[in-house]
Amino acid sequence: TGSTLYTETQSASTDAAGQFSIYLGAGTATLGTFANIPWANGNDKFLKVEMDAQGGANYQNMGTTQLVSVPFALAAKETGIIRASNGKLFQLIGTPNGPVLKCYPPNATANAGSDQLNLAGNSTNLSANHPDAGETGLWTIISGNGGVINQLNNPNSLFTKGADSIYSLVWSINGECGLSKDTVTISFKGLTMNVPCASITSVNYLGENYPTVQIGTQCWLAKNLNVGSMLNGSGNQTNNGSIEKYCYNDVASNCNVYGGLYQWAEAVQYENGANNSSSMFSPFANRVKGICPTGWHLPNDPEYCTLMKFLDTTINCSLSSITTSAGGKLKSTSSLWNSNVGANNSSGFSALPGGYRFISTNMFSDLGNMGMFWSTLENSGTTATRFTIYAGSTNLARVNWNKSTSLSVRCLLDTFCSVASAGPDQLNLLGTTATLSANVVSASETGSWFILSGNGATLSSPNNPSTLFTKGMDTSYTLVWSVNGACGMSRDTVFLRFPSPQATGCGMSVPYLGENYPTVQIGNQCWFTKNLNVGTMIPGNVEQTTNSTIEKYCYNNDSNLCATYGGLYQWGEAVQYQNGASNLTSPNSPFFGHVAGICPTGWHIPSESEFCSLGAFLDGSVDCSSFGFTGSDVGQKLKSASGLWVANSGTGGSNSSGFSALPSGLRASNFSFNSVGQRAFFGTSSENSSSDVIYFGFDFSQLDMAHSIDYKGNGFSYRCLKN
């Protein structure tokens, strides 16, 4: 005679004996959801069967039967705690979806470490967490070809790349309490060095063949220019429509080995009125082709700096004297160097010691000792910038030098080679879409997105760096932005994370003991958006006790402030003295599962780890590994924008999360009340010791969130979290 919880229809045919079988819950639901039937409420469930033997809708009542046994196994009570030989504790707990085995202490939660992106070289050390005693860890490669993990069970194993540049690895921890997994993305620099440029392996120019070399984002000629008519060292090169060169000591064969030597104005081919004795009539606005072949140019000062910083990121290009290993990476290993200290030519630049011709004496000097190269930067009417590599060291020099001096020349490809940047990780996405933010590529390059991990997602325009991404069935995705051009392929990775599917009913209000509590979905958690205000108010100078009545403090013993800020509760009262817990003692057995405490049915007091998860969803950098402030601006996102907080410029609440934390203050263990309007103290179900509770707090003058401990006998605010 009660309300109908669930109705379904089924079609069945009899067998030869006139019998048929059906499975409850397997039909077509016309009212309610089978999985949501509240079996645990007691033996008040009845099954009514109606049938139309002709297969229509003219149902005849076949009777009603009370369900008295089997369905209630779905809501079985908890077993006792069993201690295994390895020290683990086990407990069987009934849930609406069947029995679940809880284990304590739980396995270490797998953490594969931070993503390692755009790595130089071809190997890296992994940085996962160690399993606890009795547990085992295991690395597995789930995408990327040819990679090798040196020690599969070592969380800090060496990983060496194979044919691909991007890999996804999984770190698994397995033990008596189950299996935990975490994924890490490893990517290596798509742009390399000491290989021919992808689209141009060599250039034939004025009868000479020049190999190319890719170094980072740049494509260089791999030997010095040797173009023009040889001029005797006693005369100056002039603007006469013909390229002129010097050969060291006026020996033509030296040009064939070391390349020609050129005064600065000759090298830039007198562009913008360039000459060796006075300034140009206007600075160079674009690339200067000079004596280079079509599609190539003389490098400017920033381009030389880009080359050097790719080889050594510590280089300061503003200094004239640069101490670095980059010189050795640029020098050829040839015996043409008189004393080739530190040379390995790992860049493929193959610098040779061509020496120079000095204007004041018209003499040649330092063949075998120095390689000196012009840039297009004019410093004064008579000087320009040169870059010098030395035989006796790995140093580089960036020096202002007389334009009339004759130096070697290298050429650089005009095409700009982009380094792929997939944009920042997006970890706190709402809804089902995200706008990507990769870098825009040049006209001669192509960029493209592909989904490395995660199922069912779509990209509205895979070649658009700012394309719209729509999630599929998964909540986490790894995407790769690839840039392809003259310098080959460069790749970068971005990680997207969406909240788990919204908990049933979150966003609705929950009525509880005369008070209405709105809820909000934050990540995969469903929270009350205001503090609990349940129980009978008692004076602040009286301890709350286990007396079957919920008791609360109101700030300054003012019931109106409970209506605004919620009640304040000692820890023992908040957890309702479960397992013998009190403000001075730990539970006589550890808490398992959710601690309902003073929360309504289906909700619980959040644990330390659940509060940490809340913070980590709002900012992935939140660190709960130690007590103190957790960093970032999580507090600002959780604090209400209400005027109840004391104003402090720049640290107010934005409440972008919807959590709506209010400055409810504290009832201290000395019976005083303090900090209303300035601070919020949220208790958890987790204790730090028999007398201390772990809490999370917010301060009017801070952007972040406090993770700390205090005496259980204080009165804290409490929020409820959906089971």
Q: What is the mean pLDDT of residues 54-60?
A: 87
Q: With bands split at pLDDT 50, 70 and 90, how would you rate the model's confidence at 72? A: very low
Report the candidate in 155, 142, 136 with the shortest Cα–Cα distance to residue 186.
142
Q: Please give the residue that has the higher pLDDT: either 460 or 44.
A: 460
pLDDT band at 545 (very low <50, low <70, confident <90, very high): very high
Q: For residue 573, what are the CA distances in angstroms to 273, 670, 683?
A: 88, 17, 11
Confidence of residue 197 (pLDDT cuts 50, 70, 90): confident
At residue 585, the 3 state secondary structure works out as coil
- What was the pLDDT predicted at 40? 66
β-strands 193-195, 89-95 pairing: unpaired
Question: With left for phi above 0 and alpha for psi between -120 and 50, is residue 544 left, alpha or beta?
Answer: beta
Residue 281 binned pLDDT confidence (cut-offs 50, 70, 90): very high
Kindly report which listed range (33-47, 463-477, 545-559) carries the lowest average pLDDT score. Answer: 33-47
The pLDDT of residue 203: 96
pLDDT in tens, 694-709: 999 999 988 889 999 9
Contact 445, 439 (CB under 8 A): no
- How far is 472 from 462, CA to CA, in rounded Å? 16
pLDDT at 432: 86
Q: Where are the beta strands (DSSP E) in 311-431?
A: 321-322, 356-358, 363-365, 370-378, 383-390, 396-402, 412-413
Residue 467 pLDDT level (bands cut at 50, 70, 90) = very high
4-6-11 Cα angle (round to 5): 125
Q: Are 466 and 437 in contact (CB under 8 A)?
A: yes
Cis peptide before 293 (omega within 30 of 0): no
User: SS3 for 477?
Assistant: strand
Top pLDDT among 395 and 553 is at 553
What is the distance between the alpha carbons of residues 364 and 262, in angstroms, rounded to a whole number?
Answer: 12
Given a cut of 80, whether residue 106 has pLDDT beyond it is: no
Q: Read off the pLDDT of each residue in 316-338 and give the average, rounded to a whole number.
A: 86
Answer yes or no: are the C-beta atoms of 67 and 44 closer than 8 Å. no
Neighbours of 1 (CB within 10 A): 4
Determine what percent of the chain is predicted with pLDDT higher than 90. Answer: 52
In sequence order, the 6+-apart residues with CB closer than 8 A to the CB of 624 are 608, 609, 612, 615, 616, 630, 707
Assess contact for 628 and 708: CB atoms under 8 A.
Answer: yes
442 neighbors 456 (Cβ within 8 angstroms) = no
Q: Is the distance from CB of 508 to CB of 446 less than 8 angstroms?
A: no
pLDDT, mean of residues 352-374:
94
Here the tokens at position 507 are: 């966003």
Q: Quote the CA–CA distance of 387 and 31 in Å, as a whole number.
A: 82
DSSP string covering 193-221? EEE--SS-SEEEETTEEEEEEEETTEEEE
| Helices of type H across 549-643 | 559-565, 571-574, 608-618, 634-638
Can you tell me the mean pLDDT for 173-186? 80
Nearest-angstrom CA–CA distance, 176 and 304: 59
588 C-beta neighbours (distance < 10 Å), count: 9
In this structure, what is the dihedral angle of CA atoms 83, 86, 87, 91, given to the nearest 10 degrees?
-40
In whole angstroms, give the CA distance from residue 163 to residue 197.
Answer: 19
Between CA 252 and CA 231 the distance in angstroms is: 10
Res. 685: pLDDT tops 70? yes
Inform me whether the pLDDT recorded for 128 exceeds 60. yes
Asked if the model's pLDDT at residue 163 lies above 60, the reply is: yes
Burial group, residue 361, by CB count within 10 angstroms (0-12, 13-18, 19+): exposed
Distance CA 159, CA 165 (A): 12
Q: Mean pLDDT across the stretch 663-667? A: 95
Q: Residue 502: pLDDT above 50?
A: no
CA distance 333 to 329: 10
3-class DSSP state of 116: strand
| Whole-number pLDDT of residue 610 | 92
Q: List the structure tokens of 50.
A: 């109606």
Across all residues in the chain, what is the average pLDDT?
87
What's the chain's length in residues?
A: 723
Q: pLDDT of 74-99, one tens digit each?
A: 444 555 566 665 566 666 766 555 56
Q: Is the pLDDT of residue 141 over 70?
A: yes
Cβ(431)–Cβ(470) below 8 Å = no
pLDDT at 417 over 80: no
What single DSSP character describes residue 656? T
Contact 502, 705 (CB under 8 A): no
Residue 246 · residue 233 · CB < 8 Å: yes
Q: What is the largest CA-CA distance in the chain?
A: 121
CA distance 597 to 512: 14
From the list 199, 243, 196, the residue with the least C-alpha distance to 220 is: 196
Sequence-separated contacts (24+) of 270-276 with Cβ below 8 Å: 270/239, 274/378, 275/239, 275/403, 276/236, 276/382, 276/402, 276/403, 276/404
Whether the predicted pLDDT of 458 surpasses 70: yes
Q: Which two tokens stand for residue 557?
A: 């013993």
Pairing of strands 446-453, 603-604: unpaired
Tokens for 318?
């503003």
Instruction: State the pTM of this model.
Output: 0.45
Sequence-separated (6 or more) residues with CB below 8 Å from residue 432: 470, 471, 498
Q: What percent of the chain has pLDDT over 70?
A: 91
| 135 in Cβ contact with 174 (< 8 Å) | yes
| pLDDT tens profile 570-618 | 999 999 999 999 999 999 988 878 999 999 999 999 999 899 889 888 8
Report the C-alpha dihedral over residues 608, 609, 615, 620, rounded to 10 degrees. 150
Strands across the sheet containing 433-435 = 433-435, 468-470, 458-459
Q: What element of type H or E holds 142? A: strand 136-143
H-helix segments, 433-557: none
Mean pLDDT of 187-216: 85
Mean pLDDT of 231-253: 95
pLDDT higher than threshold 70 for residue 689 = yes
pLDDT tens-digit readout, 338-361: 989 999 999 999 999 999 999 878
| 582: its two tokens | 């009190």
